[in-house]
Structure 1
């Protein structure tokens, strides 16, 4: 067997074209697609995808791919760009924990757009999603954790996952799939300042990754080639974007034995995943001791690197800021009972009680917890009550992670909540049935806005 990671990954993706798909893997894939739709649809209502749809309206053109943002059919690249941007706006998209990576936004956005454009079957679409997750998630493992210091890994590696899914739907050979990865590695971008800083660029990272991945996959299908050493060479992608030429031994371990789409985290909170252990731990303490925000004198949160470096923020002026603030999300959980979309409305952001509580939350990095990142996402909490008592809790995982997964019922409830904001109940129910229980390509017709009656 070759020791070239690009070739190994391309061969693994190609194998998913014809190998038996275990029933459990197919079900996991359907769950990922349903979660993508639920995460994507609220982003069609407001945010950068809406503005972007006006900016690129002249590019709609002819095609069968559906952009759910503008309700129009057009090219696969156009639909992937808009749907990919929308799917990362509400911050509810899935996570591959071991890579710190959101594969669904770029991969499914690309795969569905190309499948619709090509008239592909639902089976071919799901296989392309599995293969795109296989490659993207394993590349993410090889680059982390140092890649994340400067780069938004969903923006970068997502381009390669999208390219693979595109190439697979186009029926590419393993060599062509490898070329799609190589080409995509030159398109991959998206830095941390546009993740952590002000502005609305972060969701565009995923839209661009989906669109650029489609371009890379189409180019490879047409015969364009790239360097077979693009991932691991001294001047390759890993060396250019991380501290090494890639931890490929770890990333490729178990290739062919397990596939990443069966190890996904589905978000239970509408904020940055680095905040989840804190929120889950607070829920445990509240269930045990029945305290409310008025009883609390202070909260100390000890987490891993990004908990402190990205999510320790008191300066919150926008929904994007709030979704990346431990202080805001803790206050929202305590006062509103949940950190879902309602926590990030203008009315919630203006609440004086949430603002007054935020300075009570202190965030630091714990070396032991940091050493377990990214394979473990943990937090240690210390809640001091006004009566002087101190409550302590260690949260070893997150609700929604593979070791504490959302049930099908919980995942469906999340989808119904999010989709119901954007489309009619009939459309939401029809889409859910299509994704989870039929062999039809989902979402092949535009959906009706929630304030309209289904035609």
Structure 2
């Protein structure tokens, strides 16, 4: 391994040497919380059109190392099971988030650990360790690399390869090649999240998961990748980032594990919409929509930028655009007093009544809010009524933020809210009982069985 670059050596050595015993109790607990949150999102997305497409393709594949397709009794190859399950996880846009210069949704990688673990009958401790590892790879790279040039799969494909390789038991040399084989062929375009958003918005990270699993499988069979994928000439740092990157110390010893710094969403929509939705729902009780003369929304730059630069966010035509639209979701919160998966039904997205409210809005950056981000997710909404009266709501820490986190009971409630009625309440309880005892499970069969639709 001495001929591989520094970043590859650092990640592969850490991946192979991390053990379950290295994980503090709070990290193990957070992994279980995250698995519960992620699988609730997956079952909530099971009936979506993208999930149906992914399951159809996955179901057409047979493999000598079969892996379970979530929600079914069917099996596919490891990579296609990871893809199909990943599409389900991401569809509702309600899985976790991590913020740094890069960031994204690291739980998109969890299907990589689950797909391989199901195939090889790995135990719960192995799965927990692989997930904590994937988060370290994703988040430590995201800490140094902004995501404004490339899509977030540039991070998650590496974490997925580490997770899959960990469960497969790769040695350091194989793990290094898995990381290289994940990074080099998979530099995704940011156009995925620009303008009117397509189904691919919710599938791009699942494609990265599939590629990460495939990279680990290739390495397990002896395939080698470029030896300097990060720091080498024409490598990732030079070509995709434009400057050298140095990854900080990874979790363990005195360094905290990054999974502890992720947040869970309360609403099924983009992270920057969480605060405006919260405030709009608060104002719902104080404002009748036919009384509204104007609405002024202030937030930080990352939140307001898409609304200010992309006209599609003011008149969304797809579910994927609507769940990224502050104007649309604020209008829904003000009028309906709730935002749920049903908010994104086609007739609701096309509702002219919401356009009437949207047309009264103005969104602007508050420089002080930008300065305080990402420690605070500040938002302020001012509604001016036709009679001149003003109603104001503001927050720095919307529900789900690290300073206002979901409790374990709220994670369970979110699971039930998203998964029912696709599965029964009894199935939800059975699945949650198994997830909360993940470290004691000999394999994942019970979890998959409990969630068959």
User: TM-score w.r.t. structure 1 length?
Assistant: 0.88
Deviation at 1:434, TM superposition (A): 0.5
Q: Give the conservation status (yes or no) of the 8 Å contact 1:14–1:177.
A: yes
2:187 counterpart residue number: 189
User: Mean alpha-carbon deviation: is it higher for 4-13 or for 310-319?
Assistant: 4-13
Deviation at 1:208, TM superposition (A): 0.8
Offset from partner CA, 1:102-142 (integer Å, 9 cap, x none): 0111x111100000001111110111011011111111111
The yes-or-no answer on 1:100 pairing with 2:98 is no
Please give the secondary structure, in 2, of the residue aligned with 1:445: helix
Q: Give the conservation status (yes or no) of the 8 Å contact 1:134–1:259.
A: yes
User: Mean alpha-carbon deviation: is it higher for 337-346 or for 403-412?
Assistant: 337-346
Deviation at 1:143, TM superposition (A): 0.7
2:207 counterpart residue number: 208
Match among 308, 321, 332 for residue 304 of structure 2: 308
Q: Quick one: distance in 1 between partners of 2:386 and 2:232?
A: 58
Q: Give the conservation status (yes or no) of the 8 Å contact 2:70–2:448.
A: no
Output aligned runs, 1:42-441, within 5 Å: 42-68=44-70, 71-98=73-100, 99-105=102-108, 107-144=109-146, 148-153=147-152, 155-196=153-194, 197-227=196-226, 229-233=228-232, 235-246=234-245, 248=246, 251-252=248-249, 256=253, 257-283=255-281, 290-312=286-308, 313-374=313-374, 376-392=376-392, 394-438=394-438, 439-440=440-441, 441=443
Offset from partner CA, 1:76-122 (integer Å, 9 cap, x none): 112101011111111111111224210111x1111000000011111
Deviation at 1:284, TM superposition (A): 5.6
Q: Quick one: distance in 2 between partners of 1:273 and 1:126?
A: 25
Please give the secondary structure, in 2, of the residue aligned with 1:339: coil
User: Mean alpha-carbon deviation: is it higher for 349-358 or for 213-222?
Assistant: 349-358
Q: Give the conservation status (yes or no) of the 8 Å contact 1:301–1:364.
A: yes
Deviation at 1:187, TM superposition (A): 3.0
Offset from partner CA, 1:407-452 (integer Å, 9 cap, x none): 1111111000111132122222111110013522443437332xxx
Question: Between Structure 1 and Structure 2, how many residues are aligned?
Answer: 439
Offset from partner CA, 1:338-375 (integer Å, 9 cap, x none): 22212112342243332221112222233443345455
Please give the secondary structure, in 1, of the residue aligned with 2:188: coil
For structure 1, which runs of at least 5 residues remain unmatched after alignment?
450-455
Q: Quick one: distance in 1 between partners of 2:36 and 2:169?
A: 24
Please give the secondary structure, in 2, of the residue aligned with 1:426: helix
Deviation at 1:297, TM superposition (A): 2.2
Please give the secondary structure, in 2, of the residue aligned with 1:59: coil
Offset from partner CA, 1:34-54 (integer Å, 9 cap, x none): 111011112221221212332
Q: Quick one: distance in 1 between partners of 2:74 and 2:198?
A: 27
User: Mean alpha-carbon deviation: is it higher for 334-343 or for 253-262?
Assistant: 253-262
1:453 counterpart residue number: none
Q: Quick one: distance in 2 between partners of 1:18 and 1:353?
A: 53
User: Mean alpha-carbon deviation: is it higher for 276-285 or for 328-337?
Assistant: 276-285
Deviation at 1:56, TM superposition (A): 4.5
Q: Give the conservation status (yes or no) of the 8 Å contact 1:384–1:390.
A: yes
1:452 counterpart residue number: none
Please give the secondary structure, in 1, of the residue aligned with 2:176: helix
For structure 2, which runs of at least 5 residues remain unmatched after alignment?
none
Offset from partner CA, 1:226-250 (integer Å, 9 cap, x none): 345423445322333335333x36x
Q: Give the conservation status (yes or no) of the 8 Å contact 2:31–2:128.
A: yes
Offset from partner CA, 1:373-426 (integer Å, 9 cap, x none): 455433343332333234455532332122221111111110001111321222
Q: Quick one: distance in 2 between partners of 1:335 and 1:394?
A: 18
Deviation at 1:55, TM superposition (A): 3.7
Offset from partner CA, 1:12-34 (integer Å, 9 cap, x none): 33332253322111110001111
Match among 30, 34, 37 for residue 35 of structure 1: 37
Offset from partner CA, 1:140-178 (integer Å, 9 cap, x none): 11112xxx323221x221111110001111112344333
